DNA sequence: ACGTTGACCTATA
DNA sequence: GTATAGGCCAACG
């Protein structure tokens, strides 16, 4: 595992329950602004990791569950999000702006660049 | 090694 | 406001 993936996992693991973030925010945290796709690949690889990664709390900028199809079952992501108090309708998070968790705004996050 | 794809984002029209 | 184009890095065939 590279440090890049480690940073991604560190940030994702720090996401509080009932909150969601976007790939771009994480990508910005690690310094690669346009490398949001790397976060997606990291999430896909997170399944193979021994520890649990709340990848269901990571959605795209639109708040749409684009990666639900990559979970064990497409319903897994929605179930997990609803279990944390979030509302998901038609693969879309309701009140996304309110439940959005910005890692750049949170202290204790290793910010590479701005 | 080259071309394509992918859980995306930003910019311009 | 939506639609289209370009870019980014890594993995797969």
The predicted structure's pLDDT at residue A98: 93
Chain C nucleotides near the protein (CB, 7 A):
6-11
Q: Which residues contact A19 (CB under 8 A, 6 or more apart)?
A: A57, A99, A100, A101
CA angle at A32 for the pair A27 and A33, rounded to the nearest 5°? 70
The predicted structure's pLDDT at residue A31: 61
Chain B nucleotides near the protein (CB, 7 A):
6-10
The 10s digit of each residue's pLDDT in A70-91 is 999 999 999 999 999 999 999 9
Query: Average pLDDT of each block of 10 consecutive residues along chain A (114 residues)?
Result: 81 94 89 79 90 94 93 94 95 93 84 58
- The Å distance, CA of A68 to C1' of B8, is 15
Domains of chain A and CATH, by start: 3-105 (1.10.10.10)
A35 beta carbon < 7 A from strand B? no
The predicted structure's pLDDT at residue A105: 84
């Amino acid at each position: 595992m590279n440090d890049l993936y480690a940073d991604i996992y560190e940030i994702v693991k720090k996401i509080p329950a009932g909150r969601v973030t976007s790939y771009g925010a994480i990508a910005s945290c690690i310094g690669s602004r346009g490398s949001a796709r790397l976060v997606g690949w990291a999430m896909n690889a997170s399944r193979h990791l021994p520890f649990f990664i709340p990848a269901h709390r990571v959605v795209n900028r639109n708040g749409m569950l684009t990666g639900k199809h990559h979970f064990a079952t497409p319903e897994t992501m929605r179930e997990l999000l609803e279990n944390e108090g979030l509302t998901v309708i038609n693969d879309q998070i309701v009140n996304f702006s309110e439940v959005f968790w910005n890692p750049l705004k949170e202290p204790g996050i290793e910010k590479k660049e701005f």
